[in-house]
Structure formats: structure tokens, C-alpha cells
Amino acid sequence: MKVIISILVFILGIFTATSQISSIKEEFALPASLSESSGVIYFNDKLITHNDSGGNNELYEVDLVTGLVTRTVTISNATNTDWEDLTQDATHIYIGDIGNNFSGNRTDLKIYKISKSDYLNADNVTAETISFNYSDQTDFTALSPNTTEWDAEALVSFDGNNLMIFTKNWVNGTTKAYLIPKTSGTHSLTPLSTNLNSGGLISGGTYNVSTGKLYLVGYTNLLQPFVWVSESFTGDDIFSGTNTQTSLSGFLGFEQAEAITYINANSYLITSEAFTQNPFSDYAKLVSFSTNDMALSAATHRKESDIILYPNPVSDVLQINTERLNSVEIFDTKLTQLYRGFSKNIDMSFFSGGVYIVRVNLNDSSYIVKKVIKK
């Protein structure tokens, strides 16, 4: 019971407060073999990354103490056409072969889906393939390099059923977001309602399930790195809430920031690529920063007695008795998000027996957090 209470206190303290980025610092230079690190996640106490287009079809584990590659995992049925980002959920790792900057005319965009169980138990694994196209791209004429709006380098796991892709727009910096199901097959993607005027090139993303905030990293045409934080959005319209940009150039100088991942509610890591752009050049590196997302703000938390979740314990369908529902999130006791949706009736029949943490987000930006027992 003490563990559950601690977790509830932890969650009540992390879902509020505008993110303030601080303590930005270089951790170490990446190995030369990862000079084009382009996607990153934090899993099993290791940094996992891959190289950019034309690299090997491999994932690399990097020890966060020594900075050395300690393990390499080959995706046997995959090709690194233009791998650009990594993301994960409770059971799978997803590799985004989504880059399209050379001419903007790719028709083989895809995401590789790898079982975490396979990844942990073998150094050679196979992946499922999630293929897609953009429904609003009608012209596939080959363009000059770096002149397309149909490039993408940021991929996040958004909820239990969907990933989200963010475009890297070389034309005017307007970033679109697209939901894509986590199921194998071919999907036609429709842009979400609200775009982001990013002011540069979005190159990586991470959606922190413990705070409900999206972090996007990128850089300007002059290689000035920045981070966007999107929060308090409505439903899955990820840019409909508050979007805040923080420049990192004053701390890092010129940097081709490429990927971002979270470690916990207020700790993040960024990888950068080595680059040469006269008169500047730099090596690939790992950068860290902190946020204040642990701060408690009781103003946005509604009393638990205002909302009733029933039945509890639950066998099949959990019901929520409010007309002001925005969304519902369910976490296990390790704070892994297992569900995110918008219905007042949630089918929990497929959940294993045990204790779960349910956050009910309301349409006035308040929320409640409750413990639910699954029989």
C-alpha cells in the first residue's frame, strides 16, 4: 500500500506546471561509429540509438557511464533507407524509416515494430512492418535535396493504439502531426487539425507519458538547436494547447540536434550528429537537460470525490460518471501507460489482475487520479 500511495503522490505532482528547461550540459562525445545518431530511446537502463540514412540495419546500446557501445542488435528483415527516429511503448520498440529529404518522392515510408522480448533475448531479431502514406501528398515529383515539405524525422508513441509522426518541413517550417496505428499493414494518414509553426526543422520527438507532454527537438537553418514543449492539448490534437519553444544555442552553440528521449518526468537526453558546415564543424555528442515537471500545482487538481469510477474492483468495463471528460489514461504501478482514450466506458477485460492508476482529464484542464483494482 505504501508503494501505491507514493506513486499516487508522484503522479499528482508531475502532471502540472509549465515546463522550464534547465541544467543543459554535454554528457560525453558519442563514439565515432555513432557520428550520425538519429533516433534514441532510454530502455533497460541503457541508451539505444541508430545511425541515419544508409547506415547499418542495427540498434546500438550505449552505456551511460562509459559512453561506449556495449551491444549491437541487428534487425534482419529491415533496411536502413532513412532511419530517423526511435520510440517505444510497454511491449515494443518502433524504428521510423520515415526520412524523405533527398527528393521528397518516397513511396516506401515505413515503421519497423520490434518485440521488446525479442530484443532483450537475441542479437538478431525480425520486425513487423507498418507502411504508410500521407493522404494530403498528391505530387511525388522528385525535387532538389532539402526542398520538400514531406520529410519527417520525429516519431513518438502517443497512446496504446497509435504512434504520431511529425513532419520536417524544409519549405516554410510548418510542422504537421499525423496519427498512425501500431498495427501492421498500409495506412493512409490524415493530418491533425492544428499545425506548429516550428521556426526551423523538427528532427526528433518524445512523448512523456508520465507528464502528458510532447518534447520536439530541432534546429534552425543556422544550426541553432531548440526544444518545443506541447501540453494541455485537446484529445489527440497535439498542437492545440500551449506550445513553448526554448532555444539551446546559448548553452550549446551550433548543434545539429537529432533525437530526444526522456528518462523520467524531468530528465531528458538529446543526441546530435557530427557536422561540417564551413566555417564550423563539430562532433556527435549526448546532451542532457532537466525540467520542473515534478512541481506540484494543486490548482489544476480536482477533488477525487467529484468523479466516481465504477465498479471498483472492475472485471470488464470501467465507467466514469462525468460529462466533462476530455481523456482517460491508465498506468500500471511502474508508470507505464497502457491506455489512452476518450470514452467514459473503458473495456478492461483484457487487463491482467492487479492495481492500476487511472488519470481522468477534464475539459477545464483539471483532472483526478484514482486507483482501480482489476479482478
Q: What is the mean pLDDT of each run of 10 residues along the chain (375 residues)?
A: 40 48 94 96 95 95 96 98 96 97 95 97 98 97 94 95 96 97 97 97 94 94 94 92 94 92 93 82 92 52 64 93 87 84 92 90 78 90
**pLDDT value of position 14:** 37
Nearest to 87 by CA among 205, 237, 230: 205
**pLDDT value of position 166:** 98
Which residue intervals of the chain bear CATH 2.60.40.3080? 301-374
**pLDDT value of position 292:** 85
**pLDDT value of position 19:** 62
**Domain at 18-290, CATH class:** mainly beta
- 209, 261 Cβ separation under 8 angstroms: no
Looking at residue 168, its amino acid is K
**pLDDT value of position 153:** 98
| Residue reference for cell 515539405 | 149
**pLDDT value of position 83:** 98
In angstroms, rounded to a whole number, what is the distance separating the alpha carbons of residues 60 and 11? 32
**pLDDT value of position 366:** 72
- The 3 state secondary structure assigned to the chain is CHHHHHHHHHHHHHCCCCCCCEEEEEEEECCHHHCCEEEEEEECCEEEEEECCCCCCEEEEECCCCCCEEEEEEECCCCCCCCCEEEECCCEEEEEECCCCCCCCCCCCEEEEEEHHHHHHCCEECCEEEEEEECCCCCCCCCCCCCCCCEEEEEEECCCCEEEEEEECCCCCEECEEEEECCCEEEEECECCCCEECCCEEEEEEEECCCCEEEEEEECCCCCEEEEEEECCECCECCCCEEEEEECHHHHCCCEEEEEEEEECCEEEEEEECEEECCEEECCEEEEEECCCCCCCHHHECCHHHCCEECCCECCEEEECCCCEEEEEEECCCCCEEEEECCCEEECCCCCCEEEEEEEEECCCCEEEEEEEEC
Counting every residue written for the chain, the total comes to 375
Name the CATH topology of 301-374: Immunoglobulin-like (2.60.40)
**pLDDT value of position 279:** 66
pTM: 0.77
Which residue intervals of the chain bear CATH 2.120.10? 18-290
**pLDDT value of position 5:** 37
For residue 16 the three cell numbers come to 502540472
**pLDDT value of position 300:** 44
**pLDDT value of position 302:** 46
**pLDDT value of position 18:** 52
